[in-house]
Chains A and B, each alone.
Chain A
Amino acid sequence: MPGAADAIDTRALKATTARCLELAMDSAVPAEAQAQLMSAGRRLRELLLEVVSRRFNARTPEVSAANLAITAANAALAADLSRVKATAGAIKKLATLVSTLESALEAAAKGV
Chain B
Amino acid sequence: MNLLPSRGLHRAALVALAACALPGCVTVSPSRPAADFGAAVSDASAAVGDYLRGLDDFERRVYLDSRLYDPRQPLAAFDAGRPTPLVARRFGPESIRARLDALSLLAVYAQRLTELSTTDAPAQATDAAAALGAELGTLGQRVQKLFDDKTAADYAGPVSLLVAAVGDLYVEEQKERALRKGIATAAPQVRKIIDLLEIDLVEAVRPLRETGELERLAERVRWYNDRRAELAKDLDARRALLDDLDETVRRYHAIIEFDPTRVTRALRGANASLLELAQSSRKPKDVEAFAAAMQVWGSRIAGAAQAARKLGDQKKE
Contacts and interface: CB of A to CB of B under 8 A. Distances in A.
Nearest to A17: B211
A98 interface: yes
Given A24-B222, A63-B102, A67-B98, A87 B125 contact: yes
Given A73-B182, A80-B178, A10 B66 contact: no
Interface string A20-54: 01101100000000110010011001001110110
B204 A55 contact: yes
Interface string B97-109: 0110110011011
Interface size band for B: 35 or more
A6 interface: no
A96 to B, nearest CB: 9
Given A60-B94, A69-B189, A102-B138, A92 B208 contact: no
A43 to B, nearest CB: 11
Interface string A49-71: 11011011101101110110111
Interface residues of A, number: 59
Interface in B160-213: 167, 170-171, 174-175, 178, 181-182, 185-186, 189-190, 192-193, 196, 199-200, 203-204, 207-208, 210-212
B218 A56 contact: no
Contact of B182 (A18, A67, A80): A80
B132 A91 contact: yes
Tell which of A41, A50, A73 has the most Cβ of chain B within 10 Å: A73
Given A10-B207, A59-B200, A70 B109 contact: yes
Interface in A62-104: 62-64, 66-67, 69-71, 73-74, 76-78, 80-81, 83-85, 87-89, 91-92, 94-95, 98-99, 101-102
A72 to B, nearest CB: 8
B121 A98 contact: no
A70 B189 contact: yes
B99 A52 contact: no
A98 B204 contact: no
Contacts of B182: 73, 76-77, 80
Interface stretch (B112-120, B232-240, B261-269, B275-283): B112-120
A35 B108 CA distance: 51
Pick the most buried of A17, A88, A94, A99: most chain B CB atoms within 10 A of its CB. Answer: A88
B119 A85 contact: yes
A45 B192 contact: no
Given A18-B210, A80-B116, A84-B171, A60 B98 contact: yes
A81 B4 CA distance: 35
Interface in B14-58: none
Given A18-B210, A56-B95, A81-B115, A74 B105 contact: yes
Contacts of A42: 66, 215
Interface string B114-149: 011001011011001101100110110011011000
The listed residue with most B CB atoms (<10 A of its CB), out of A35, A45, A66, A78, is A66
Contacts of B105: 67, 70-71, 74
A34 B116 CA distance: 61
B128 A34 contact: no
Given A24-B218, A70-B102, 6 more contacts: A57-B91, A63-B95, A81-B115, A81-B178, A88-B122, A92-B124
26 contacts: A17-B211, A18-B211, A21-B214, A21-B215, A21-B218, A34-B222, A41-B215, A52-B203, A52-B207, A55-B204, A66-B193, A67-B105, A70-B106, A70-B186, A77-B112, A77-B113, A80-B116, A81-B115, A81-B119, A87-B121, A87-B174, A88-B122, A94-B128, A95-B128, A105-B143, A109-B145
**Which 6 pairs, one residue from A and one from B, show the smallest C-beta to C-beta distance?**
A80-B178, A73-B186, A77-B112, A95-B132, A53-B90, A98-B135
